[in-house]
Chains A and B, each alone.
Chain A
Amino acid sequence: GQNIDQPTEMTATEGAIVQINCTYQTSGFNGLFWYQQHAGEAPTFLSYNVLDGLEEKGRFSSFLSRSKGYSYLLLKELQMKDSASYLCAVILRWRAGNMLTFGGGTRLMVKP
């Protein structure tokens, strides 16, 4: 079966840096997405990694190691509005159509 693991909850302080990890064991791999979801709202796209390495986009960066089945999302200069759930999702190569296979999500709480 497909297994995507991420911590359930994390807490960090405003202005700090936090790293949210995601490990996956899947049959095939064709890319990994990170989405942010505020309570009651739509998940919104943050990043996409298909090759090994770091992708930086403003305060957010995402890293992928395909050999280790590992990714992380790095949030810098945390703001209160970053309190949300962060979803790791994988596209499985063997399935056509790019449907996403999700982890359980990490709820991040940013404290003053």
Chain B
Amino acid sequence: EAGVTQFPSHSVIEKGQTVTLRCDPISGHDNLYWYRRVMGKEIKFLLHFVKESKQDESGMPNNRFLAERTGGTYSTLKVQPAELEDSGVYFCASSQGVAGTGDEQYFGPGTRLTVT
């Protein structure tokens, strides 16, 4: 069974440009999470989908970030326009159910975004 995949693995863009990150969760996982790690900091939660619905987007930094999960399968995270402080590694994770206890999240390898 394939794990969580993310595309691209690396992206280098200029300030002001647009970038779209993609995450394919494990098949059958209703829950999809986006996290981000900026240089020298801890991994931080961005948002959570249950199927196609946004359950919690309290971690999104600002309205330059837009996440979608049409059809409840893969998800995209668009940054428009990108700023220097958006550089970091963007992780996607998926899990089977919000059981409340021990619902393991499976992480993708991340997309390293560099804004110059």
Chain A residues packing against B (C-beta within 8 Å): 4, 30-31, 33, 35, 40-45, 48, 50, 87, 89, 95-105
Contacts and interface: CB of A to CB of B under 8 A. Distances in A.
A30 B103 CA distance: 11
The secondary structure that dominates the A interface is loop
Contacts of B48: 97, 99
Contact of B107 (A42, A48, A96, A105): A42
What DSSP secondary structure best describes chain B's contact surface? loop
B101 A31 contact: yes
Given A99-B45, A104-B41, A45 B106 contact: yes
Contacts of A42: 3-4, 91, 106-110
Given A95-B56, A97-B56, A87 B98 contact: no
Contacts of A87: 43
A71 to B, nearest CB: 14
Interface of B: 3-4, 31, 33, 35, 41-45, 48, 50, 55-56, 59, 91, 95, 98-110
25 contacts: A30-B101, A31-B101, A33-B104, A33-B105, A40-B109, A43-B43, A43-B91, A44-B107, A45-B106, A48-B104, A87-B43, A89-B43, A96-B55, A96-B98, A97-B56, A98-B95, A98-B99, A98-B103, A99-B45, A99-B56, A100-B43, A100-B105, A102-B42, A102-B43, A104-B42
Of A41, A42, A50, the most chain B CB neighbours within 10 A belong to A42
B104 A45 contact: yes
A101 B105 CA distance: 12
Contacts of A4: 42
A23 to B, nearest CB: 14
A49 B30 CA distance: 23
Contacts of B99: 98
